[in-house]
Amino acid sequence: MRVSSTKLCHCRIIMKRFVILILVFVAIAFADGMQNGTGFFVNSEYIVTAYHVVKTYDNICYYDINNDTCYQAHIVDYDLDRDLALLRLDDEPVEMPMVCRIVHSELPIGEKLTSYGYPEPFIDNNLTIVPLNIRKQYRYDGNYNYYRMSGKIVFGMSGGPNFTRDGRIGGMSKSISLMERNTSNLVKSTEVVWLLRKNGVNEYPNTKNVKKCVISILNSVELFKSAQANWGV
């Protein structure tokens, strides 16, 4: 039995409308209070992200995209000036977290990094990847804790890792510059190492696959469960 081109066209229109409706539902879930950022594990228990990502969160969770599961975590320590937060898992994840090695020294001007993150984990669970280049060292409050980068990250990538060409974490995404076009700010990896040492946390890298070292951070386990129940996200 042959299907007419008119019917096929009608089916495609219906499918497009259905997809748009799903995206609207997801947008409503976020409008109701769900927020997100990016982060990375330093061992099987501890996560690093940007403090501004989690400072207003009541009930932080690590969103395991592959298993569509949210694991609750809490803030162990943070540094406002460096915009760093150290989280610890409250729940044991289904799969062992993947951990990449961190650079323990400052990187030279001109070094190329690649930024990874999950700007919209429910709408698009593929990693967003942005190439960056260190333009200069940068400071906010007297200390050169940041790199000023050529290249623009995306909202939702804050707290995410930025990898060197040999697969090590050379910095953490902080912000987009409001003063300069096509410019982003990263927290130096040496500042991440400082936070870990301050809290007696050791790194246990177990992979060189950089894509597996990037995770999504949500502001609430309860909002996540509500979104799942109401919209199937």
3-state SS string over 126-150?
A: CCEEEEEEEEEEECCCCCCCEEEEE
With a CB cutoff of 8 Å and minimum separation 6, the contacts of 104 are: 189, 190, 193
Tell me the pLDDT band of 231, cut-offs 50, 70 and 90.
Answer: very low
CATH topology of domain 112-197: Thrombin, subunit H (2.40.10)
What is the number of residues in the chain?
233
Tell me the pLDDT band of 233, cut-offs 50, 70 and 90.
Answer: very low
With a CB cutoff of 8 Å and minimum separation 6, the contacts of 90 are: 71, 72, 73, 74
Residue 25 has pLDDT above 50, yes or no: no
More confident call, 138 vs 166 = 166
More confident call, 163 vs 62 = 163
Residue range 93-137, pLDDT digits in tens = 878 899 999 999 999 999 999 999 998 776 777 899 999 999 988
- The per-residue pLDDT for 155 is 86
Most distant CA atoms of the chain, gap in Å? 75
- The per-residue pLDDT for 111 is 95
Low-confidence winner among 49-58, 127-136, 167-176 (lowest mean pLDDT): 49-58
Tokens of 121: 């984990």
- β-pairing, 46-50 with 183-188? unpaired
Query: Token match 């009930």: residue?
Result: 59
- The per-residue pLDDT for 100 is 96
Tell me the pLDDT band of 20, cut-offs 50, 70 and 90.
Answer: very low
- The per-residue pLDDT for 57 is 75
- Percentage of the chain beyond pLDDT 70 is 75
Q: Enumerate the domain spans of the chain.
A: 112-197
Q: Are 9 and 15 in contact (CB under 8 A)?
A: no
Residue 176 has pLDDT above 70, yes or no: yes
Residue type, 130: V
Between the alpha carbon of residue 166 and those of residues 101, 102, 113, 162, the distances in Å are 10, 11, 10, 11
Residue among 70, 71, 171, 77 nearest 117 (CA): 171
Residue 144 has pLDDT above 70, yes or no: no
Q: What is the mean pLDDT of the chain?
A: 81
Residue 33 has pLDDT above 70, yes or no: no
Low-confidence winner among 45-54, 90-99, 159-168, 223-232 (lowest mean pLDDT): 223-232
Task: Count, in order, helices (H) and strands (E) of the chain.
Answer: 4, 12
Q: Give pTM, 2 decimals.
A: 0.80
- The per-residue pLDDT for 177 is 80
Tell me the C-alpha distance between 125 and 169, whole Å: 21
Q: Are 118 and 216 in contact (CB under 8 A)?
A: yes
More confident call, 102 vs 138 = 102
- β-pairing, 36-41 with 183-188? unpaired
